């Protein structure tokens, strides 16, 4: 991650139309945004789409960043909202992806995929969580955000985050066969 001063400087330059600054913000945040999207969406292709849409939204709405939170937290909020929107659209219009063997490899995504990879059983358990629990668990437990940062990223009170993380952890424990988890 970068220092808050660097993020603030870059976003100010993006607002003034500096595309190099936008590229810099993307390089700084893209791996973590992809990781969040992958864990919420549960599918590489959908996560790539959500990541791309997150950065398009960031570019279009850069002027709306007020600096009330860290830029990374604001970007997480955009990513989570983008994932929610795409999950809602997918429920209305289910589609099937092409088999992986028809999808050419994306060598630049391999490092991000490796860093975002989870054990298959954990991935499946995360997919089974309701989206609001999944996003709270992903941001707090997997991305390491504090409860206030997670609350800010999700746009909900800290108490709601604590409840969603607690309930999400319980559902994960049950799904993974750890019945003694509280």
Query: What is the residue-wise DSSP string for 114-171?
Result: HHH---HHHHHHHHHS-HHHHHHHIIIIIS---HHHHHHHHTS-HHHHHHHHHHHHHH
Write out pLDDT tens, residues 31-46. 999 999 998 998 899 9
Instruction: Output the pLDDT for position 43.
Output: 87
For residue 99, pLDDT over 60 is answered with no
Query: What is the residue-wise DSSP string for 65-104?
Result: --SSS-HHHHHHHHHHHHHHHHHHHHHHS---PPPGGGSP
- Domains of the chain are 1-117 (1.10.1740.10), 119-182 (1.10.10.10)
Measured between alpha carbons, how far is 132 from 165 in angstroms, rounded to an integer? 9
Q: How many CA atoms lie within 13 A of 125 on its CB side?
A: 18
Start-to-end Cα distance in the chain: 32
For residue 37, give both structure tokens. Answer: 């999207």
Give the total residue count for the chain: 182
For residue 133, pLDDT over 50 is answered with yes
Spatial CA neighbour of 105 closest among 44, 28, 39: 44
For residue 112, pLDDT over 60 is answered with no
Instruction: Output the pLDDT for position 93.
Output: 58
């Amino acid at each position: 991650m970068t220092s808050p001063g660097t993020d603030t400087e870059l976003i100010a330059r993006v607002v003034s139309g500096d595309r190099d600054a936008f590229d810099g913000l993307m390089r700084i945040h893209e791996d973590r945004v992809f990781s969040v999207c992958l864990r919420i969406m549960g599918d590489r292709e959908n996560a790539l789409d959500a990541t791309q849409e997150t950065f398009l939204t960031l570019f279009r709405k850069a002027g709306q960043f007020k600096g009330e939170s860290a830029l990374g937290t604001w970007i997480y909020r955009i990513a989570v909202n983008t994932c929610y929107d795409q999950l809602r659209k997918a429920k209305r219009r289910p589609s099937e992806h092409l088999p992986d063997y028809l999808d050419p490899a994306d060598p630049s995504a391999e490092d991000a995929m490796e860093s975002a990879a989870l054990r298959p059983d954990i991935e499946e358990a995360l997919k089974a969580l309701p989206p609001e629990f999944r996003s709270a668990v992903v941001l707090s437990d997997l991305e390491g955000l504090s409860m206030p940062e997670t609350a800010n990223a999700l746009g909900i009170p800290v108490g709601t985050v604590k409840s969603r993380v607690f309930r999400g952890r319980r559902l994960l424990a049950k799904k993974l066969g750890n019945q003694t988890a509280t």
